[in-house]
Amino acid sequence: MSKFKFHTEFEINASKKMLFPYLNTASGLAQWFADDVNVNEDKVYNFIWDGEDHKARLVAHRSNSYVKFEFLPKDDDEHDKAFFEFKLDQNELTQSVFLRITDYSENNDAEELEDMWENLILTLKETVGG
């Protein structure tokens, strides 16, 4: 099945340094992004949604700036791996912080994805007070 790349961004009233642990740690992600998140000894993250496991690797990161998680394929034939990435940008003039999200998955319904991310970010903002 082909994948769909979805981009969105949100302004969050919190510093990049304060936000980053919510984007790259299991405990931070579990507070807003998934029902639960665990990391095993091989550094494989297990995102749990609705009782289902979704395993991913943290494949790229830059402290206080960027993270990318790539989901492990369910079968060996899958070369086009689903991923999501979070990028924190700060407007130097206004000091506003923006969370830019790329979601590359089999879900190709942009409206559904926008609603999902808006709800997730609302939870994140409530968690960080931003």
Query: 102: Cβ–Cβ under 8 A, 6 or more apart, which residues?
Result: 5, 6, 7, 83, 84, 85, 87
- Domain extent, residue 114, equals 4-128
Measured distance CA(46)–CA(3) in Å, rounded: 21
Cα torsion through 23, 80, 72, 22, rounded to 10: 0
**How many domains does the structure of the chain reveal?**
1
CB atoms within 10 A of CB 1: 8
Any idea what the CATH number is for the domain that residue 51 is in? 3.30.530.20
3-state helix, strand, coil in the chain (%, to 5): 25, 40, 35
Q: For residue 26, give the DSSP letter.
A: H
* pTM of structure: 0.90
pLDDT tens-digit profile, the chain (130 residues): 689 999 999 999 999 999 999 999 999 999 999 999 999 998 999 999 999 999 999 999 999 999 999 999 876 666 778 999 999 999 988 889 999 999 999 999 999 999 999 999 999 999 998 6
Measured distance CA(17)–CA(88) in Å, rounded: 10
